[in-house]
Chain A
Amino acid sequence: MRSSQPATGPPLPLVMSSLLRADFAVLLKSRRSLLISVFLPMVILFSTNSSKAAHSFGGSLFIIGLATALGLVSNSILGYALTVSRDRDQGVFQRLRVTPAPTWTIMTSRLAMQALSNLLITVIVVIVGSQMHHVSLSAGTYALVLVVSILGGAVFLSIGQALVGLVKSADSINAAGRVLTIGLVLLSSLGQSGTLGSAWESISRWSPVGVVMTLFAAVLNLSAWDTNDSLALLACGGYIVVFGAIGIRWFQWDAR
């Protein structure tokens, strides 16, 4: 029955490909979750379709950036954190951990599939957004958008990781994730529109959603890259390091 029997442990490529294949299968079966993650960005794109609405949000590029960033927020914070916490509650991680697979391969596979779904959401939102807001994008711009998608996705995945690190039960993470997502959505949308005043606008601009949408807007109009965009890039790195460290430091494989 067997084609091979390792003497000293399974080969890493086979372990990794097995995990990736399984996580990809799970991703394909989570289409509803992906649709929900795309739904909010679409609402934003449709509701700001007029030039007046677009102007109040800082222009079409900012709206596409906001929509994409919120898609990533929904997919990474709610999607990733909930999936990880449910699998942890059900003992899926413990079952995987008794195999010879190194623990880092288990999480790397998960994160890789999450990054893939983030890319998918980004492509959909950017294509729809550019059509609706009449923004013409080159192939190079699309490539940069995908790079920012990975970076922005990493920001929100690190926040999701921090969430599953600090909160144990899946139910609590579900509630906390929703509150966090709604908070980030409101902060970014209302704050960026200037409705809450200049102080909130500044806070919003440097919030995780703010810096990611700034980067999206920047790569969509690369010729206008300025210091604020560079600082947003640095802020992204800072968020990834801080939230990632929290998420890894306090993460537990077992919910008990």
Chain B
Amino acid sequence: MSENRDPDPVRRDRKSDESFQPLAEIVTGELIAGAPPGDRLATADGARGVAELIAAAVLDRFVVGPRPAEPVHEHVSRGAPAGSGVILEVRDLSVVYGAKTAVDGISLQMNRGEIFGLLGPNGAGKTSTLSAIEGLIKPRSGAVFVDGVDIRRHPSQAKAKLGVQLQATSFQSQLTIKQIIRLYAGLYGVRLSDSEITAGLREIGLEGDATKPFKQLSGGQQQRLSLYVAVVHDPALLLLDEPTAGLDPQSRRQLWGRIEDLRQQGGSILLTTHSMEEAEAVCDRVAIIDHGTLLTCETPQDLIAKHRDDPEVRKVAHGDVTLEDVFIGLTGSEIRA
């Protein structure tokens, strides 16, 4: 559990003295989970071509290298300062639903330019943690700082720094693609002209679909649009909740290709996934959560090396120990609800 501690002794010893100011929200709730429908792209080659287009579009919108420090009032930042190496700081986070504790005192830090995987079995607390980071639920205690901004004290400022792709693509079904892009760009303070929207759609391979209702898109097209909307404002941190759930192999490969490219360009991405192989291949660091607590947080390679000889891991390993073996060794073999 040492990974659960802040490596910075100054920050680690500094207790948060902020009393939470409840948001003006009457009630809060978690994300609505649901796998998007499968992609219907015809061929792998076609998919790869589109992937390149999307990768270029996403890269174009992501900041390459350190972002310039944005003006943040002194009272706003009680976490790592904006523009520092820490893009996300979760401090002693607890989320409770009635009598059930979904997240129990999780602390973690994510560095700028890092791809960070949040792993855990069903019901482990991943989505609750992500929802708290997104500002969708009010934690019982703890704090979340996005690029130095406390999301509960200054939700609009913090959310402006986030790009979010929810597990289920959930835009108003009556709106056209163009209307959706214009809406979400506006909500992030970005004004887009018609020609800019057309260019954006061309980049994600939806050039001829501007006037199509969202519900008429295939699963893969919806996913591409969803990611495009998530990065339309150049977010400092991109949150992806099980981005490959329900996608076919071509679409999954497209997405991981994009994420890999973003890593190369210094983009910061926090994602949840059930695919250990993909997490092992893509993530710089992974955190494994179970029963609402953080079990470990390391690079996939260090995690495997550290637990290679663990009896529980050896028991489930077939040949070389993989991240999945470590995951099952740490969280148990029983099937979760």
A binds B: yes
Contacts of A6 in B (CB 8 A): 160, 188-189
**Residue of B at shortest CB range from A29?**
B174
B319 CB within 8 Å of chain A: no
Contacts of A254 in B (CB 8 A): 28-32, 136
- Cβ-defined partner of A98 (8 Å) among B24, B61, B135, B199: B135
Contacts of A95 in B (CB 8 A): 164, 166, 170-171
- Cβ-defined partner of A251 (8 Å) among B26, B168, B191: B26
Q: Within the assembled complex, what's the spacing in Å between the Cα atoms of A1 and B27?
A: 36
* Contact of B189 with A11 in the complex, beta carbons under 8 Å: yes
* Contact of A15 with B187 in the complex, beta carbons under 8 Å: yes
* Contact of A19 with B187 in the complex, beta carbons under 8 Å: yes
Contacts of A22 in B (CB 8 A): 172, 175, 179-180, 182-183
Contacts of B25 in A (CB 8 A): 103, 253
Contacts of B187 in A (CB 8 A): 10, 15, 18-19, 96, 99-101
Q: Within the assembled complex, what's the spacing in Å between the Cα atoms of A158 and B134?
A: 29
- Interface stretch, picked from A86-94, A144-152, A173-181, is A86-94
**Residue of B at shortest CB range from A9?**
B156
**Residue of A at shortest CB range from B68?**
A7
Contacts known (A10-B187, A21-B182); A91 close to B175, Cβ less than 8 A: no
**Residue of B at shortest CB range from A18?**
B186
- Cβ-defined partner of B155 (8 Å) among A1, A96, A100: A100
* Contact of B32 with A90 in the complex, beta carbons under 8 Å: yes
B123 CB within 8 Å of chain A: no
Contacts of A99 in B (CB 8 A): 159, 164, 184, 187-188
Q: Within the assembled complex, what's the spacing in Å between the Cα atoms of A3 and B26?
A: 34
Q: Within the assembled complex, what's the spacing in Å between the Cα atoms of A131 and B25?
A: 47
Q: Separation in Å of the A2 CB from the closest CB of chain B?
A: 5
Q: Within the assembled complex, what's the spacing in Å between the Cα atoms of A248 and B187?
A: 23
Size class of the contact patch on chain B? 35 or more
Q: Within the assembled complex, what's the spacing in Å between the Cα atoms of A104 and B190?
A: 20
Contacts known (A2-B234, A8-B70, A251-B26); A94 close to B31, Cβ less than 8 A: yes
Contacts of B24 in A (CB 8 A): 102-104
Main secondary structure of the interface of A (DSSP, over half): loop
Best-buried of B32, B154, B155 by chain A (most CB within 10 Å) = B32
Contacts known (A100-B187, A248-B26, A251-B27); A25 close to B166, Cβ less than 8 A: no
- Chain A positions within 8 Å of B, measured between CB atoms, are 1-11, 14-15, 17-19, 21-22, 25-26, 29-30, 87, 89-92, 94-104, 248-256
**Residue of B at shortest CB range from A11?**
B189
A-B contact pairs, 23 of them (CB 8 A): A2-B191, A2-B233, A3-B192, A8-B72, A8-B156, A10-B156, A10-B189, A11-B189, A18-B186, A18-B187, A21-B179, A22-B180, A26-B172, A87-B172, A91-B31, A91-B34, A92-B172, A94-B166, A99-B164, A248-B26, A254-B32, A255-B29, A256-B30
Contacts of A96 in B (CB 8 A): 187
* Contact of B174 with A30 in the complex, beta carbons under 8 Å: yes
Contacts of A255 in B (CB 8 A): 29, 32
Q: Separation in Å of the A94 CB from the closest CB of chain B?
A: 6
For the complex with contacts A2-B192, A15-B186, 16 further pairs of A-B residues with Cβ separation under 8 Å are: A7-B71, A9-B156, A10-B189, A10-B190, A21-B179, A25-B179, A90-B168, A90-B173, A91-B32, A91-B34, A95-B166, A99-B164, A100-B188, A252-B29, A254-B31, A254-B32
Contacts of B134 in A (CB 8 A): 98
**Residue of B at shortest CB range from A104?**
B24
Q: Within the assembled complex, what's the spacing in Å between the Cα atoms of A216 and B261?
A: 63
Contacts of A11 in B (CB 8 A): 189
Contacts of B154 in A (CB 8 A): 9
- Cβ-defined partner of B192 (8 Å) among A1, A102, A103, A104: A1
- Cβ-defined partner of A18 (8 Å) among B31, B170, B176, B182: B182
Contacts of B180 in A (CB 8 A): 22
B309 CB within 8 Å of chain A: no
**Residue of A at shortest CB range from B230?**
A98
Q: Within the assembled complex, what's the spacing in Å between the Cα atoms of A1 and B181?
A: 13
Q: Within the assembled complex, what's the spacing in Å between the Cα atoms of A6 and B134?
A: 19
Q: Mark B3-31, 1 if CB is under 8 A from A, else 0.
A: 00000000000000000000011111111
**Residue of A at shortest CB range from B97?**
A256
B300 CB within 8 Å of chain A: no
Q: Separation in Å of the B167 CB from the closest CB of chain A?
A: 9
Contacts known (A91-B168, A254-B31); A5 close to B189, Cβ less than 8 A: yes
Q: Separation in Å of the B151 CB from the closest CB of chain A?
A: 11
- Cβ-defined partner of A89 (8 Å) among B32, B136, B176: B32
Best-buried of A10, A30, A102 by chain B (most CB within 10 Å) = A10
- Cβ-defined partner of B60 (8 Å) among A1, A8, A19, A101: A1
**Residue of A at shortest CB range from B187?**
A99
* Contact of B28 with A253 in the complex, beta carbons under 8 Å: yes
* Contact of A1 with B196 in the complex, beta carbons under 8 Å: yes
**Residue of B at shortest CB range from A14?**
B186
* Contact of A3 with B191 in the complex, beta carbons under 8 Å: yes
Q: Within the assembled complex, what's the spacing in Å between the Cα atoms of A1 and B189?
A: 13
Contacts of A256 in B (CB 8 A): 29-30, 32
* Contact of B157 with A9 in the complex, beta carbons under 8 Å: yes
Q: Within the assembled complex, what's the spacing in Å between the Cα atoms of A254 and B28?
A: 7
Q: What 10 A-B pairs are tightest by C-beta distance, nearest first? A: A254-B29, A18-B186, A10-B189, A91-B170, A91-B32, A6-B189, A9-B156, A99-B187, A100-B156, A3-B191
Q: Restricting to B41-86, which residues have a CB under 8 Å from any CB of A?
A: 60-61, 70-72
